Amino acid sequence: MEKTTFHNDKYSIRRQRQHELLVALINRQEDLELMNTDARSLNGSNREIDPARWIDHNRRILEKYQSLVRSAMTLDALLDSEQSENS
């Protein structure tokens, strides 16, 4: 039981570190947009826009977030490997 608790604690600490890294990376972004749920507000008017353009816009935003998550995971892995080498 203690081994499971240790594993869960280590996992929890690592997830917290990954979260903190991701938040730090997001804070460094100057023009990070949120996903747009309303196609009409994409161009600032009440006119409907091309659904393909709306989907493409949200896809680019999602790819940016995925890139930030991958960067945070990579940084976390580097920190973890450095801690393992020093132990």
- Amino acid 79: pLDDT: 92
Q: What Cα–Cα distance (Å) separates residue 46 from each residue in 14, 34, 37, 50? A: 45, 19, 14, 13
Question: What is the percentage of the chain residues whose pLDDT exceeds 70?
Answer: 82
Q: Is the pLDDT of residue 19 over 90?
A: yes
Residue 5 confidence (pLDDT): 74
Measured distance CA(57)–CA(66) in Å, rounded:
14
pLDDT digits (tens, 9 = 90+) for 25-57: 999 999 889 887 776 655 555 566 788 888 999
Please report the pLDDT score of residue 50 as a whole number. Answer: 82
> Is the distance from CB of 69 to CB of 23 less than 8 angstroms?
no
The rounded distance, in Å, linking the Cα atoms of 54 and 38 is 9
Domain boundaries, the chain: 2-86
Q: What pLDDT is stored for residue 9 in this prediction?
A: 86
pTM for the full predicted model: 0.75
Residue 46 C-alpha from the chain's centroid: 31
Structural contact between residues 41 and 53, judged by C-beta atoms closer than 8 angstroms: no
